[in-house]
């Protein structure tokens, strides 16, 4: 592909954002910036921000905007990359405005926002089958994207775990928070002319193909 792309993957929890963003970043040869993974890593490292964030995450609630904006901005600055695939940030209008301002100033604005559409009942089914590697944070799905060896991470052989926030009650809370706080971002990016919608249902490879086609066609 041509010059480095700057993309955001937007979608409800469990839409397959993490898996698709990781694969897409590999195909494009750019870093994958996943806010949830970075927060879980910070919590595992017991950094002050990580420990603060963990309390919100375990309840299925959003980490406050001022913490998120600072945390991701630091990470993007350290990366200094021309291209990237953002996954999980921004999630609120406040975060989107702060990110836009920062990237515009650095003359590396977001180019495409891919909205992965998956209905709520499908999301609930998916999240309850999800497993995460506690060591490298890679996610799997017991039916849709299983590891080569049952319950063991392909990358580092660690035994997979269920995230506390993938428990059924917390999943419902996360979906509620998503609709309250993130639904508005679709209009925000549609108005900016960045949004392309992609059907997130079906096989992993099918969805990846739709994402590639959507990038090729560009926002409409
Ligand atoms: P994820 O792995 O993307 O599902 O994120 C897991 C959790 O991390 C979320 O449920 C939130 O508690 C927190 N989180 C990740 N990204 C953000 C964000 N941009 N704004 C607020 N909270 C976030």
Note the pLDDT of residue 161: 95
* 190 located within any domain: yes
* 89 located within any domain: yes
- The answer to whether the CB of 132 is under 6 A from ligand 1 is no
Q: What is the residue-wise DSSP string for 118-172?
A: --HHHHHHHHHTEEE-TTT--EEETTTB--SSTTB-TTT-PBPB--GGGSHHHHH
Name the more confident of 139 and 180.
180
* 15 located within any domain: yes
- The answer to whether the CB of 56 is under 6 A from ligand 1 is yes
Note the pLDDT of residue 14: 84
Specify the CATH number for the domain of residue 23: 3.40.50.300
Contacts of 188 (CB under 8 A, 6+ apart): 93, 96
Note down the domain range covering 34: 6-211
* 1 located within any domain: no
Note the pLDDT of residue 220: 56
2: confidence class by pLDDT, cuts 50, 70, 90: low
How confident is the model over 146-180, as pLDDT tens digits? 999 999 999 999 999 998 888 888 999 999 999 99
Domain count, the chain: 1
* 46 located within any domain: yes
* 24 located within any domain: yes
Closest residue by CA, ligand 1 atom 3: 36
How confident is the model over 63-111, as pLDDT tens digits? 999 999 999 999 999 998 789 999 999 999 999 999 999 999 998 999 9
Which residues are marked as active site? 17, 91, 130, 163, 174
* 217 located within any domain: no
* 216 located within any domain: no
Name the more confident of 4 and 190.
190
Q: How does strand 32-34 pair with strand 84-87?
A: parallel
- The answer to whether the CB of 88 is under 6 A from ligand 1 is yes
In the structure encoding, which two tokens stand for residue 150, read together? 């049952």
Average pLDDT over the chain, rounded to an integer: 92
């Amino acid at each position: 592909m041509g010059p480095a792309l700057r993309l955001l993957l937007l979608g409800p929890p469990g839409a397959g954002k993490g898996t698709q963003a990781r694969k897409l970043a590999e195909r494009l040869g750019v870093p994958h910036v996943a806010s949830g993974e970075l927060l879980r890593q910070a919590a595992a490292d017991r950094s002050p921000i990580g420990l603060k964030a963990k309390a919100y995450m375990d309840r299925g609630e959003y980490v406050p905007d001022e913490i998120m904006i600072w945390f991701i901005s630091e990470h993007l600055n350290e990366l200094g990359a021309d291209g990237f695939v953002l996954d999980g940030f921004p999630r609120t209008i406040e975060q989107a405005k702060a990110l836009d301002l920062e990237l515009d100033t650095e003359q590396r604005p977001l180019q495409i926002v891919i909205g992965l559409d998956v209905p709520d009942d499908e999301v609930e089914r998916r999240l309850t089958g999800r497993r995460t590697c506690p060591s490298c944070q890679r996610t799997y799905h017991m039916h849709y994207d299983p590891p080569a060896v049952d319950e063991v991470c392909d990358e580092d052989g660690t035994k997979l775990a269920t995230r506390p926030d993938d428990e059924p009650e917390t999943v419902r809370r996360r979906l509620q928070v998503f609709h309250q706080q993130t639904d508005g971002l679709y209009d925000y990016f549609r108005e900016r002319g960045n949004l392309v919608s992609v059907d997130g249902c079906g096989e992993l490879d099918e969805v990846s193909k739709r994402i590639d086609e959507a990038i090729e066609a560009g926002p409409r």
